[in-house]
Structure 1
Amino acid sequence: MGLPFESNTARSGVITPGLLHLPPGVERHPVPGGGSRAVEIFAGDEITLVDREGGQLAELVAFTPTGVGDPGLIGVTQTVAPDGLRAALSASPSGRGVAKALAQAGFDLGRARGVRLFGEGARAGDMAVLTAQGDGLLVVAAPGGPMEPQAQDTVTDLLLYIRRADPKTFRGAHRAPDPLADPLLDHNIRPGEAFVYEVPKGAFIQVLDVQGRECSDFQAFSARALDKGIEREVDPTATRSMTGTIYPRPGLHAKYWNVDFEPLVEIVQDTCGRHDTFGLACTARYYEDMGYPGHVNCTQNINAGLDPYGVRPRAGWPAINFFFNTLIDADHGIVTDEPWSRPGDYVLLRALTDLVCVSTACPDDIDPANGWNPTDIQLRTYGAGEDFRRSIGWRKRPEDDVEHTKETGFHASFAKHTRDFVEYNGYWLPNSFPGEGTLGEYWACRESVAIMDLSPLRKFEVTGPDAEKLLQHCVTRNMEKLAVGQVVYTAVCAEHGGMIDDGTVFRMTEHNFRWIGGCDGSGMFLREQAETLGLDAHVRSSTDQLCNVAVQGRNSRALLAEVFWTAPDRPSIEELGWFRFTVARIGGFDGVPVVISRTGYTGELGYEVFCHPRDAAAVFDAIWQAGQGYGLKPLGLAALDMLRIESGLAFAGHEFDDQTDPFEAGIGFTVPLKSKAADFVGRAALEERKAHPQRRLVGLEIDATTVPAHGDCVRLGRVQVGVITSATRSPVLSRTIALARVDIPYAETGTELEIGQLDGHQKRLAARVVPFPHFDPTKSRARGEYDA
């Protein structure tokens, strides 16, 4: 849904999401759910507050320059005690910092009166407009307490806009954001300049793109080597060799090395995600060959800056080209285009030894490298004592604000058993547990019981009188048949039949549901459909209010029954049926509350346990302690992939995407066209696709021990007839297996095919079509039916 004031930048028919266009004099200030923002206001300023997802309370306090809380400053007479704002300021270290700063500045929050807006019943996109009656400070909070797992009072974001009455008070649409901490060095690099600086071991370096779409070349030298007259800088080839990524690709390596295999810097945070790490800084030769002799260039600027250190000049400097968007085309040629960086995007590095560094603001104005308009780069350094968490920036939609990779509520518990975490869908998840090994984790799930973190699954609370009608319109399964306490696996499709997401719907009460999917887009789709249809239904994100672990394996029922108590009017763990859920507590009536569903992603008897992040450690410890008598082991993503492929379970980006319908994804059972008479999004297209199928998901058995990769071609002779979606070496079957999407004429069981590797022709793996799931096709294990 659209937001006031905002539109994507567009010129000459080119739309660039994320480079938001705001009217002159308008500032944008996101207010995170459960958090707050403080913004200076001046007489005549127009204040617009937007409830992005609906149902979110907003509390505002306006302070005069003398520190007195005065609601009249924003033209309001009806006031309340700002208890929600006070709670929000005490709920996080950043909030406590804001409260401390307010107190030090003489702003008495204890005696202030506040204003409340929105709250229960507010629709997504509802707005309130106020006018500043004088100068002062405005503090806005999106308050809300922890959501109990069986409740649905989640906390969501607000958006604050300020239209300045006086242009002189306008802070600017794009200016360098506040430092991450107290900087040791804070230097602005103008376009066409290079800046040389020294950084001690352990200190941090922040390279920040102020306006967006601006490249910055970076090079670092070992200071100790330079002191000896030896030049040892970041070397692309050594770096690719040491990190095991020989072929150049956009992005960043975890560490950068010199030719002596000495690590010089490591990447700590990256909010952009696309950079060049194999090219040269721009050179005089490039501009000369393009017809621009004498054009200022980064290489010559770097030469001049490093001359006092005795570094010999180069005709072209190898560099990490931050924010430079290069890619390799089908012929392995280097192609460039506009950077992906937005205003305020940055890369944060840590010095692994004493360094002499150089950073530039690229002057290239003759091609898209800097969006045709070179701008400035902000260079900051911070002390070694700062605590910056590792993160990779991600966005729910291209036009959304960047979010940092998060730690789940269970992160600290799993971190006691592994350091091997990978970024997954905006969160850090364990990939493997070296103490067990991937095979050990796998066999624990197949033979006893295992626990894994699934918190990145996206949760949305779908509530209101029309909640059932909304879901009936948006998902493929029949919501009218879903009973309270029941769970159903379903698909969400677009009008053309392609899948947006798959996931599960929980019926919490008669009118309230919980949607748990793989991506934010499905929740946004539900919210957009509610608005389009004019339904009285709310769709609010609860992902960060609910974290969950999966407890899977034949011993999972006995283990959880030992840990969790349920009330008499709720099913016990032993009574809980397949695709049902219950509300439980650790130990007894007063224990930590959880929601437990009998669901999973392994093909084994299993459950998922949902709790608030504040209770995650207690939940994990209770399960872990009791689980030692049942052979409980931790499970990572690598082992999970083996389990789900054996069990024929679909994975987004592999078995399905928005060009693939549920029938082609192997989950046609989620589209009951006969038993669900109601219309739903994509129904007409799905009826046509089912009547005239083009491709089918099949199982493959492969004679070789070589495991094909996702995307490898499937061929019959010289002709491609399909593509590998997922593959693994199955421990329980002792053979290589795969899931593949093939053309209908070649999808019959027993069809002999080949999997092409290298160029698709020069290496082939013999394979044949077999039924899937490869393992336990009747799903007897998921039903709890194990052989003695």
Structure 2
Amino acid sequence: MGMEAILPRATERGGVVTPGLPVLPPGVERHPVPGGGSRAVQITAGDVLTLQDREGLQPVELVFFAPDGRSDAAMIGAAGGHDPVGLKRALTADASGARVRHALDVAGFDLGRADGILLFGEGSRAGEHASLTAASDGLLLVCAPGGPMEPQEHWAPTEIVLYIRRSRPANETTLLEPPPPLADPLHDINVQPGEAHSYEVRKGQYIQVLDVQGRECSDFQAFSARALEKGLERDIDPTTTRTLMGQAYPMPGMRSKYYTVDQEPLVEVVRDTVGRHDTFGLACTARYYADMGYPGHVNCSDNINLRMAQYGVRPRAGWPAVNLFFNTMLDDHNAITSDEPWSRPGDYVLMRALTDLVCVTTACPSDIDPANGWNPTDIQVRTYSDDNRFSHWTGWRKTPEGDMEETKKTGFHDCFARHTRDFVEYQGYWLPNEMTAHGAIAEYWAAREKAVIMDLSPLRKYEVTGPDAEALLQHCVTRDMSKLPAGAVAYTAMCYEHGGMIDDGTVFRLDENNFRWIGGSDQSGLWLRRQAEERGLNAWVRSSTDHHCNVAVQGRLSRDILAPLIWTPPARPTVEELGCFRLTVGRIGDQYGAPVVVSRTGYSGELGYEVFCHPRDAEAVFDAIWAAGEPRGMIPFGLKALDMLRIEAGLVFAGSEFDDQTDPLEAGIGFTVPLKSKTDDFIGRAALERRKAHPQKKLVGLDIEGGVVPGHGDCVHVGKPQIGVITSAMKSPFLGKVIALARLDVAHADIGTEVEVGLLDGDQKRLKARVVPFPHFDPKRERVNGNYA
């Protein structure tokens, strides 16, 4: 069976493509199996099983049991005789193994008598697939075997996907069934479009509101049960909530609660898989439909009135509500506009009751606007006991059509949690924002004067290996990889054909054909893999982000802290011997300690290093560094202080100084584009040559008067016309003034040019500023080289 017959495909209608709503062909199921993990699936005779190795080089182990407990590979048309040692290990080593063990226990099957199957054992390519057909009903076990990846190694287990074309599809309808509950539910209510349901929730219990089909708005309101007993209506108030939380709608993390007008918290958001809602509009009303020419149209406000009447709640013409999955916004003209929701099938919000509640949930009936994608569908409501403990996270997707992933804790999370509760979501991970006992200013000065340690584990790591690894990177990045020796690191840009940047990052050369790309987002790694596939290169690009967590130790004392701590073999340089942009492989303490890779790199403008290890060793690595550094004044460090350091040091950040419309020259990192010395062609070269010959924008430094710090995107003017934008700004503790990085038209980018930064509407308030060289701090980079006065 060809993969194109079973792969999810983006829906398209009338020229509108929605890759965020991939649709499987009828009768096809998709079951991802995590790298190092396993999965159990019931199979029916005649089912066609297709397994896809998404990233390449990933072996797959299969075991099939018939209902009578026999295991014979021939029953699914495969060759057996393989001992599934990887599967046996995965049942206890990976979290996914618990469900597989449960399935085996329930069925009474003996894995010790399994006839194992091995697929993709000989160096499979990314996207390679194999198909089998089941001749019997039974239970299929699938494993993507692999263990922890050492920091100096190049292979980590990666996800494979099982597709099943059912011989007897259980559901021929195009409507989806609700996904399985998170635990045993107390309530499990299906709310049909145009309906509402009320329900009671006790303090500590959980409420899950789930969009079953996707693109469906649901209004949620909660009332304090104690207040209702006293004849008082105390429900979620959007205005109070926005004021206290400081954002449009609460999300998992520090700003997660919804409040009443009395400023009493009613619920907190525990999980949110979509992250796009509205809390400043009413639930739809009879008046809205009447004004649109649809008098008598069913509406959510009347439905809430109907359901809440039994609790003595007075009816209202329009109910303020938490408009889950509703996509409204304020435009530049202060008008409220709306579009289709961002939610996909199965997206949900999970909340925890902070007091006894009476709740009501609707499934919006609007079929006259984009509020429900023009097609109202059902909402599922489930409540769960307070005996459960659900982790806090938000949804994350690498690509619009990608699987939803939860916000993860890094290997170092618990180490930093000893010092702060202020964690923020960053690129799918929880990272410390500011240390409770210190604060950003103290962290900043510690980095400038002593040393700090911070978690940089969300940086995306991709192993680029194979005989054509150098050729692949040479074609995809702007720096010359042919001149990069083993043990060296290169900072470089990666561009599209038009010259716009995909990402910036570092390339670690670990050996002749072994590289590690470390960038800010998965787009760069996915781009590398795509280029390897399209160009037929003998190279593999495999994600290793979750096998390499890393801390940065930055500051003038960083070398003194790490040097006695890192043991290296005789053939590897010591920490003292590491030059800028060099790496070494060693261990913590002595030759028996946790293995690490140490690079002399950083993002602070100070002497510094990064230490990479496997998550299983993260606590030991952190504790060793902490024991050596704390007596010297080292403190933990968060994102808020990091932004201050990098702006002063003129270091660029994705979404601020560059994006896919900005080339490296405009982003202020033209040194990463050696057009003269790198003679080989690379993606974007022709565009960059044109742009360099005819520059339009330039990144500059600004000194700003008045003590007011402008925001990203604020306009920069010379007189009336706008000639640029602020990319980043701060009040520099070291310099004692407001500074900024700005992208200006080249006609006004000369040093000394007087400009004005526009606030409010850009005209009513102006900050006087002057173009200055950047970086503002340590322009000769002497501190990075460890040269201190």
Query: Could you say which TM-score interval applies, normalised by the shorter chain?
Result: over 0.9
* 5+ residue gaps, structure 1: none
**Cα distance in 2 for residues equivalent to 1:47 and 1:11:** 30
Alignment deviations for residues 252-290 of structure 1 (CA, whole Å, 9 cap, x no partner): 962111111110011010001111111111111112222
AA at the equivalent of 1:458: R
Secondary structure of 2:585's partner? strand
Partner of 1:243: 245
**Cα distance in 1 for residues equivalent to 2:393 and 2:251:** 14
2:380 to 378, 381, 385: 378
Please state if 1:352 is matched with 2:321: no
Partner of 1:149: 151
2:222 to 210, 220, 223: 220
Partner of 2:635: 633
C-alpha contact (below 8 Å) 1:251/1:276 kept by paired residues: no
AA at the equivalent of 2:216: E
Alignment deviations for residues 212-260 of structure 1 (CA, whole Å, 9 cap, x no partner): 1111110000000001111100011111121123xx5797962111111
Partner of 1:413: 415
Identity %: 67
Partner of 2:290: 288
2:313 to 311, 314, 319: 311
2:731 to 726, 729, 732: 729
Residues 193, 44 of structure 1: alpha-carbon distance in 2 compared, 3 angstrom cutoff: same
1:538-577 superposed matches below 5 A: 538-577=540-579
Partner of 2:586: 584
Partner of 2:275: 273
Please state if 1:530 is matched with 2:532: yes
The worse-fitting range, judged by mean Cα deviation, of 94-103 and 154-163 is: 94-103
1:478-489 superposed matches below 5 A: 478-489=480-491
1:764 to 762, 766, 769: 766
1:670-681 superposed matches below 5 A: 670-681=672-683
Partner of 1:594: 596
1:358-757 superposed matches below 5 A: 358-757=360-759
Partner of 2:120: 118
C-alpha contact (below 8 Å) 1:27/1:173 kept by paired residues: no
**Cα distance in 2 for residues equivalent to 1:202 and 1:249:** 21
1:77 to 64, 76, 79: 79
**Cα distance in 2 for residues equivalent to 1:692 and 1:121:** 46
Q: CA shift at 1:18, angstroms?
A: 2.1
AA at the equivalent of 2:733: P
1:256 to 237, 246, 258: 258
Secondary structure of 1:100's partner? helix
Secondary structure of 2:533's partner? helix
Please state if 1:106 is matched with 2:108: yes
Secondary structure of 2:457's partner? coil
Residues 292, 633 of structure 1: alpha-carbon distance in 2 compared, 3 angstrom cutoff: same
Alignment deviations for residues 440-499 of structure 1 (CA, whole Å, 9 cap, x no partner): 111111111110000000000000000000000000000000000000000000000000
**Structure 1 runs, 4 residues or longer, greater than 4 Å off:** 1-4, 169-173, 248-253
Q: CA shift at 1:375, angstroms?
A: 1.1
Residues 403, 306 of structure 1: alpha-carbon distance in 2 compared, 3 angstrom cutoff: same
Alignment deviations for residues 150-184 of structure 1 (CA, whole Å, 9 cap, x no partner): 00111111111111112347797732111111211
Partner of 1:21: 23
* 5+ residue gaps, structure 2: none
**Cα distance in 2 for residues equivalent to 1:541 and 1:93:** 19
Secondary structure of 1:524's partner? helix
Q: CA shift at 1:107, angstroms?
A: 2.3
**Cα distance in 2 for residues equivalent to 1:688 and 1:173:** 51
Secondary structure of 1:167's partner? coil
Secondary structure of 1:690's partner? helix
Partner of 2:7: 5
**Cα distance in 2 for residues equivalent to 1:209 and 1:34:** 31
**Cα distance in 1 for residues equivalent to 2:668 and 2:564:** 36
C-alpha contact (below 8 Å) 2:278/2:322 kept by paired residues: yes
C-alpha contact (below 8 Å) 1:22/1:173 kept by paired residues: no
Q: CA shift at 1:708, angstroms?
A: 0.9
C-alpha contact (below 8 Å) 1:271/1:393 kept by paired residues: yes
**Cα distance in 2 for residues equivalent to 1:400 and 1:632:** 40
**Cα distance in 2 for residues equivalent to 1:102 and 1:276:** 45
C-alpha contact (below 8 Å) 1:699/1:773 kept by paired residues: yes
CA RMSD after TM alignment: 1.5
Alignment deviations for residues 516-553 of structure 1 (CA, whole Å, 9 cap, x no partner): 00000000000010011110000000000100000001
Residues 413, 170 of structure 1: alpha-carbon distance in 2 compared, 3 angstrom cutoff: farther
Partner of 1:233: 235
**Cα distance in 1 for residues equivalent to 2:622 and 2:377:** 49
**Cα distance in 2 for residues equivalent to 1:187 and 1:109:** 39
AA at the equivalent of 1:558: D
**Cα distance in 2 for residues equivalent to 1:211 and 1:74:** 33
**Cα distance in 2 for residues equivalent to 1:614 and 1:120:** 29
C-alpha contact (below 8 Å) 1:724/1:741 kept by paired residues: yes
Partner of 2:181: 179
AA at the equivalent of 1:187: I
**Cα distance in 2 for residues equivalent to 1:704 and 1:142:** 59
Partner of 1:58: 60
Residues 172, 181 of structure 1: alpha-carbon distance in 2 compared, 3 angstrom cutoff: farther
**Cα distance in 1 for residues equivalent to 2:74 and 2:417:** 50
**Cα distance in 1 for residues equivalent to 2:450 and 2:216:** 54
TM-score by length of 1: 0.98
**Cα distance in 1 for residues equivalent to 2:121 and 2:600:** 34
**Cα distance in 2 for residues equivalent to 1:277 and 1:558:** 52
C-alpha contact (below 8 Å) 1:249/1:328 kept by paired residues: no
AA at the equivalent of 1:716: V
Alignment deviations for residues 105-138 of structure 1 (CA, whole Å, 9 cap, x no partner): 3122232122111145110000000101111111
**Cα distance in 1 for residues equivalent to 2:359 and 2:622:** 45
**Cα distance in 2 for residues equivalent to 1:370 and 1:554:** 56
Residues 149, 780 of structure 1: alpha-carbon distance in 2 compared, 3 angstrom cutoff: same
AA at the equivalent of 2:198: V
C-alpha contact (below 8 Å) 1:8/1:15 kept by paired residues: yes
C-alpha contact (below 8 Å) 1:424/1:456 kept by paired residues: yes
Secondary structure of 1:48's partner? strand
Please state if 1:320 is matched with 2:318: no
Secondary structure of 1:578's partner? coil
**Cα distance in 1 for residues equivalent to 2:735 and 2:421:** 30
**Cα distance in 1 for residues equivalent to 2:533 and 2:145:** 24
Q: CA shift at 1:615, angstroms?
A: 0.4
Q: CA shift at 1:72, angstroms?
A: 2.2
**Cα distance in 2 for residues equivalent to 1:172 and 1:116:** 35
Residues 227, 406 of structure 1: alpha-carbon distance in 2 compared, 3 angstrom cutoff: same
Partner of 2:41: 39
Aligned length, in residue pairs: 785
C-alpha contact (below 8 Å) 1:66/1:106 kept by paired residues: no
Secondary structure of 2:396's partner? coil
C-alpha contact (below 8 Å) 1:56/1:120 kept by paired residues: no
Q: CA shift at 1:737, angstroms?
A: 0.6
TM-score by length of 2: 0.98
**Cα distance in 1 for residues equivalent to 2:535 and 2:424:** 40
Secondary structure of 2:185's partner? coil
